[in-house]
Amino acid sequence: EKDVVLSKKTQQEIDAAKNKCREFIEFLLDGTAPGFSDPSEEYMNVYAQFDPSSVSLDTLAEFSPYLRMSKGQILAEVLREVECTAVGHDGMAGDDVSKGGGHYRQVERVGSFLKGFRIAESRRIARETASHLLNVVANEGAEGLDFALGTMVRGEGDGELNDDLLAYLEETITVQKRTVEKQIAAENADRELMKSRGETLEEPNMVEMDEIDVDGMNVEEINLNDGEVRASLSEVGDSYADDDSKEMSPSEKLLMLLQSLLDRLKAEAAFTADEDGKNLRLLAMCLNTQSDIERTKRIQGEVGGSLARTESFAELLAGAIDYAEKPSTALTPGRKAMDISILRKIQRQVAEIQSMQAMNAAGVKPPKSDRDPIGPWQ
């Protein structure tokens, strides 16, 4: 199966991250061995053992995004380059400090520290992001999740969308599946035992999400027995929320919630980071938004005051409507027909936004109106 990549980076971003990683590693190695020291400094020929406690939290926070980028692959590449440099400094001396060696060992110490930090920090951020998104799904539903993901894509809001988050959710789901399987096996064993004794097994009381601990995630105020929460889950992941969910145990419902969130994030990864990908993502959000007012707010939040961005989205809408109106589209087997009426409604909303942007650009104050955002076309 092809790997799903949630955080796609440009070559420019990768090169910048490499430079930052290299800068940080050189900073940590400075003064630990002659080859890594400034020749003008007094301690050039003095070895100082690398001390992780000497690295400030502010410095780690500054370089943390670069160390964690691409699941640590960039950090690993830079470390290999520095290791090769260290081997060159050691020469025939190897690890013999008295002969000017020992550079490679210092790089090993720094590398072990940075790798450990990257793993711990990536897991911490992934756990916090997963916790935040779970709360959004349960409390605000699919539309709330779309909004939260939209802000994260723009580098705003709480949490980070990256490949570490996908890996963390997959790992958590695997653990939760084992928990559910053990629970079911234990319940079946108890049921058989009670049946052999002629007794009736009492059904366990339903509990709220905040009574279940998943890897220390701070999941609060989520009642999976609530009908509105089940409806929200149905919007996020139809294949995991059905009528049988009412009979699920709390652990099974949690598993359903985690799997639905993972599937939604994998769908997010299908959109590229360029303008076409952003337009497709915005269109998908608009199609899944029921309220006209919320849809208009969402479009305005994405395009801002950019006339070019709005025009680009309008062109995508026109193309989508043309495609949906083709007779061959309706006859394509196994493909759900697009709702042309919704597409046209979105197109009218975009036209109104373009009109407002044009008036603002011309310095004309738009007239105040209390009517619905899509006006008389509704």
Mean pLDDT calculated for residue range 172-180? 90
Q: Determine which of 65-69, 232-236, 294-298 has the lowest per-residue pLDDT on average.
A: 232-236
The model's pTM:
0.65
Give tens-digit pLDDT for 363-378: 777 666 555 444 433 3
- Most trustworthy range by pLDDT among 94-103, 278-287, 323-332, 351-360: 351-360
C-alpha 127/C-alpha 263 separation (Å) is 17
C-alpha 20/C-alpha 28 separation (Å) is 12
3-state secondary structure of 218: coil
Mean pLDDT calculated for residue range 222-232? 49
DSSP 352-369: HHHHHHHHHHTTPPPPP-
Cα 377 to its chain centre, rounded Å, is 37
- The secondary structure of the chain in percent helix, strand, coil, rounded to multiples of 5, reads 70, 0, 30
Question: Which H/E stretch holds residue 56?
Answer: none
Give tens-digit pLDDT for 233-284: 445 544 444 444 456 777 888 888 888 888 888 877 766 666 777 788 788 8
Residue with tokens 């149905």: 234
The answer, yes or no, to whether residue 295 has pLDDT greater than 80, is yes
Token pair for 354? 């373009």
More confident residue, 120 or 215: 120
| Amino acid at the residue 299 | I
Instruction: Give the pLDDT of residue 25.
Output: 95
C-alpha 10/C-alpha 353 separation (Å) is 31
Instruction: Give the pLDDT of residue 39.
Output: 60
pLDDT confidence band for 203 (50 / 70 / 90):
low
Neighbours of 263 (CB within 10 A): 16
